[in-house]
Amino acid sequence: MAKQIRNFITIYSENTEALKGLNTDITTNNSLLSAMLLRKMDSTLLKRFEHFHSSQTNTMPQPDEIIRFLTQECNEVEQASLYSTVTDLGFLNNKAYYL
């Protein structure tokens, strides 16, 4: 899942930067883009975003806020995966010395 999210963020960033290079910034006050980004999320991720955005329930999130959330989620999944890999290899409980 983290790889898919990271790929999505990369493609989004490349395209928005290209548009900014053409003096077209679509990332500010763009509720249509926000709606499209939210529709790309699965139900679990969308629920986590709603919790993340809960302090501002009466406002449509900005695209940058959604991308920040996705980046944070991706980082957390990658960190958890890294921790799991290190634990499985025994580095955290000194088993690595016996490999």
pLDDT at 99: 46
**Rounded Cα gap, residues 47 and 3, in angstroms:** 20
pLDDT at 98: 44
pLDDT at 37: 93
Number of domains in the chain: 1
The residues of the chain scoring below 50 in pLDDT are 95-99
Helix, strand or coil for residue 58?
A: coil
Domain range enclosing 21: 2-98
Nearest to 66 by CA among 16, 23, 20: 16
